[in-house]
Structure 1
Amino acid sequence: MPSGARAAAVRTARQVLSTNPVYLDTETTGLLADAEIIELAIVDNAGEVLFEQLIRPQNIIPQEAIAIHHITNEMVADLSTWDKVWPAVQAILRRKTVCMYNADFDLRLIDQSNDRYGIRRERFAAFDVMKLFAQFRAVINRRTNTYRWFRLEQAGAYCGIVIPNAHRAKEDTLLTRAVLQWIAAQPE
C-alpha cells in the first residue's frame, strides 16, 4: 500500500472531522434517472439523529429495490412527498460539510428529486467517504488506473465495524461516520 496515499487520506479524514460534519444517506426506488428518494437520514458527528424519514415517491417502489432495503409501498403510502421534506433537510445541510458514502449517487438523487418537484438545485459542501476509503486502501483498479471503490459494507468490515440493518439510511450514515472516524484514528 503506498504510504503516501494512506497518510494523505488520514490527514484528510482528520481535517474533515475538524469541520464537525453531518452524515447523509438515502434509500431509493432504484438507480436510474427515474429513481426517487424514499428514505433519508442525517446524523451529526456524535452519531445523534438529526433527521430520519421515509418519503412517499410519485411512482411505486419496484420489488428489486424492496428486496434490498425492505421499504415497501405500504410503508410510505400515507407519508409526505419530497417537496414537503426537502425544506427541513436543506436547513440541516446549510453551512455544513455533508459526508456521504458514494456522494455522487446521493447528490444525483437529491437533484433528481428536486427536479421532479420543480425545486431549485442547491449545492452544499459534500465529501465522499467512499473515495477517501479508496485512497486509504490504495488498491489500484487496473482497468481504470484509479483507486478501486469498495461497498460500504466492505469498508466497514475492513475497519472492523459492523452495524446491523445495512441498506437503511440511518444505519448507513452511522457506518459512514464510523469509517471516517476509523481512518482519522490511524497513524500516518
Structure 2
Amino acid sequence: MKPVKPVGVIKTSKYDLHLYDPSSSESAIPKKKASVAQLEALAKGREKQLLLRQRHQWYEEIGRFEQDENCAIEWARKQLKRRKWVILDTETTGLDDAEIVQIGIIDREGKTVLDSLIKPTIAIPEEAIAVHCITNEAVANAPSFPEIYPQIVEALKSKQVLIYNANFDTSILRYCCKLHKLPLLEFKKGCDCVMKWYSQYCGEWSRYYGSYKWQPLNGKHNAVDDCLATLALIQVMASEELINLEASFQSYLHR
C-alpha cells in the first residue's frame, strides 16, 4: 500500500507516528505493480548479490590461499630473472647469542661464492655438533669472523640476498658484527626470506597463529648445501603453473 492521508497521529517525545487505514482509499491506495522490466532488474540484482556472497565464501575458503600461492610462484620467477642476487646460509653454535661456525654463499647459478668454516670465540656445544657435525677440532685452524668479514662484505656488495629463515641468519650476522665491533652488514639491494615465500607456496594455514606454517628446508646442515637446497626450492616454485582463479571459482560453484 502507498500512504495518502493519515487518519490519526500518535505523538511521542522523539517523533510523530502517523496512522493509515488500508481499507480507505482516501488514506492508502495500492501501489502500482512492478513492470516486467523492473521485476527482471530485481531478479538480476538478487543474482548479483548471491554471486558476490558465493565469491566471498570461495575466497575465504579457497581463493585467498590459491592467490597467495600464485604470488609465491610469481616471486620465484621474478628472482630467476634478476641478474644480481646471492643465497646465504650459516651454521652456528646455537640459537640465541650464537656465533657462526660456517658460512656459505652461492650465486644465482649455484656457483659457490664463499664457503668457509669460522672459528668462534666460544666452544661449540654438543647439541649444535649433533645438528651440523662441525666439531671444535674442525674449526681449530679456521679463520675468525673478523678475518672472513671482508669476504662476506665483498660477496654481498650490490646483491640482493636471499636466505631461508632470514630472521635467524641476519640476527646471527648482526650479533657477530657487534661482538667483534665491526660495521653491521648492509643489504642495500634488499634481503628476502625464502622460507616465508615457500611456506606461502605450500599453503598450510595455521588458524592458531593466523599465518602459514613454516616449512623445513630439509637440507644437510652444511652452509653451501643448504644454499643449494634453497635455490632448488626457488626453481621448483618458479616452474609451477599459475592457478586459474576464475576457473577455480567456477569449479567451486558447480561442486
Whether the TM-score (by the shorter chain) exceeds 0.5 is yes
Q: Deviations over 1:31-53 (max 9, x none)?
A: 012x1000000111111111100
In 2, the alpha carbon distance for the partners of 1:108 and 1:70 equals: 22
Is 1:139 the equivalent of 2:193? no
Kindly indicate whether structure 1 or structure 2 has the higher relative contact order, using CA contacts under 8 Å at least 6 residues apart: 1
Match of 1:23 among 63, 75, 87: 87
Who is 1:45 aligned against?
108
Deviation of the 1:173 alpha carbon: 0.3
Match of 1:150 among 205, 215, 218: 215
Q: How many residues in Structure 1 have an aligned counterpart in Structure 2?
A: 176
| Aligned residue runs from structure 1 range 42-81, under 5 A | 42-81=105-144
Structure showing greater Rg: 2
**Identity over aligned residues, as a percent?**
35
Match of 1:126 among 177, 184, 191: 191
In 2, the alpha carbon distance for the partners of 1:111 and 1:6 equals: 31
Helix, strand or coil for the counterpart of 2:137?
helix
Is 1:172 the equivalent of 2:234? no
Residue pair 2:91, 2:223 contacting (<8 A) in 1 also:
yes
What amino acid is the match of 2:184?
R
Q: Deviations over 1:132-184 (max 9, x none)?
A: 0011112111211111111101xxxxxxxxx6xx1010110000000011101
In 1, the alpha carbon distance for the partners of 2:176 and 2:77 equals: 32
In 1, the alpha carbon distance for the partners of 2:163 and 2:135 equals: 24
TM-score by length of 1: 0.90
What amino acid is the match of 1:30?
G
Residue pair 2:173, 2:185 contacting (<8 A) in 1 also:
no
In 2, the alpha carbon distance for the partners of 1:18 and 1:115 equals: 35
Who is 1:159 aligned against?
none
What amino acid is the match of 1:17?
L
Residue pair 1:19, 1:97 contacting (<8 A) in 2 also:
no
Who is 1:160 aligned against?
none
In 1, the alpha carbon distance for the partners of 2:158 and 2:208 equals: 38
Who is 2:31 aligned against?
none
In 2, the alpha carbon distance for the partners of 1:80 and 1:115 equals: 18
Give the ranges of 4+ consecutive aligned residues of structure 1 lying more than 2 Å apart after TM superposition: none
In 1, the alpha carbon distance for the partners of 2:66 and 2:142 equals: 49
In 1, the alpha carbon distance for the partners of 2:131 and 2:204 equals: 27
What amino acid is the match of 1:178?
A
Helix, strand or coil for the counterpart of 2:215?
coil
Q: Deviations over 1:56-100 (max 9, x none)?
A: 000000000000000000011112100110111111101111111
What amino acid is the match of 2:221?
H
In 2, the alpha carbon distance for the partners of 1:15 and 1:98 equals: 14
In 2, the alpha carbon distance for the partners of 1:19 and 1:126 equals: 14
Deviation of the 1:123 alpha carbon: 2.4
Q: Deviations over 1:3-59 (max 9, x none)?
A: 2111111111111222232111000000012x1000000111111111100000000
In 2, the alpha carbon distance for the partners of 1:54 and 1:64 equals: 18
Who is 1:13 aligned against?
76
